[in-house]
Amino acid sequence: MNENAHDSVRKVHNGIMPESQDLKRSFEALLMEGASSLGLTMEKKTVEMLRGYGQEILFWNRSVNLVSADTIGDLAVRHFLDSLTVLPLLPRKPFALLDMGTGAGLPGIPLKMVRPDAYVVLVDSSRKKQSFLKEMIRHFSLDGIVAEQARIEDWISRGIHRNAFDVVVSRAVFPLARFLERSSSFVKETGAIIAMKGRSVREEIENAEKTVFEKNLALVRQVTLSLPFSQEERHLLVFRGAGGEKRDLEL
């Protein structure tokens, strides 16, 4: 076994995926081909905006801990394509979306760039991240999107944005039970809660059973996929109000 192979084995044993040669391809190729493999269509203008956004993330990442990515290829696959996997689950008509614990604006900003008809609220408790988000909104002249620095618990206790959103989404920031408990305060009665999860999804679903029952929710759809190029496992969980209707869960 050569030195590179030994290095890859060590990375896997340490829980780190070895770097794929595919991730060294151009940003445009990764995003366009990756989106196509997910059944998505990307306009050239949107790809250019996402590239600029990625460059800004890498620049700000030197002083603000935004994402775990060192290259534009990492961002294209593990962050932007990952964010865009939610697209087929969104309403076809204009909608309001809350991105809880948005961090660097993921998935909210990429979704906004692809779906400019959406009204998006990005919320995070970090002041530094809010500064970054507001600068990105200004820099890319994004309309219909706002960034707010807040603790979700404060919003809930004060009734802010109560039942105001068609979609509430979070990208693996919170344990599922906690996310459902908090997000249920903000989603409309006819809306959807979308949790973006990795390999531990089955355990998280089991741990959230009590919260699902208490909040009168139902898991109405589960999408399992592999990220293009990296083949990392992803699960999208869609919850809606149960409304007394018994639904089968596809686990």
Contact 122, 148 (CB under 8 A): yes
Quote the pLDDT of residue 69: 85
Q: Alpha-carbon distance 59 to 230, whole Å?
A: 24
Domain boundaries, given as residue ranges, for the chain = 20-241
Q: Are strands 145-149 and 119-124 parallel, antiparallel or unpaired?
A: parallel
The superfamily (CATH) of domain 20-241 is Vaccinia Virus protein VP39 (3.40.50.150)
pTM: 0.87
Burial 175-208 (b: 16+ CB within 10 A, else e): bbbebbbbbbbbbbeebbbbbbbeeebeebbeeb
In tens digits, the chain (251 residues) has pLDDT values of 444 433 433 333 333 334 455 556 799 999 999 999 999 999 999 999 999 999 999 999 999 989 988 899 999 999 999 999 999 999 999 999 999 999 999 999 999 999 999 999 999 999 999 999 999 999 999 999 999 999 999 999 999 999 999 999 999 789 999 999 999 999 999 999 999 999 999 999 999 999 999 999 999 999 999 999 999 999 999 999 986 344 433 32
Q: Mapping DSSP to helix (H, G, I), strand (E, B) and coil, where does residue 247 land?
A: coil
pLDDT of residue 21: 54
The pLDDT assigned to 1 comes to: 42
Q: Which residues contact 207 (CB under 8 A, 6 or more apart)?
A: 175, 176, 177
In this prediction, residue 173 carries a pLDDT of 86
Q: What are phi and psi of 246, to 5 degrees?
A: -80, 130
Give residue 12's pLDDT.
Answer: 33
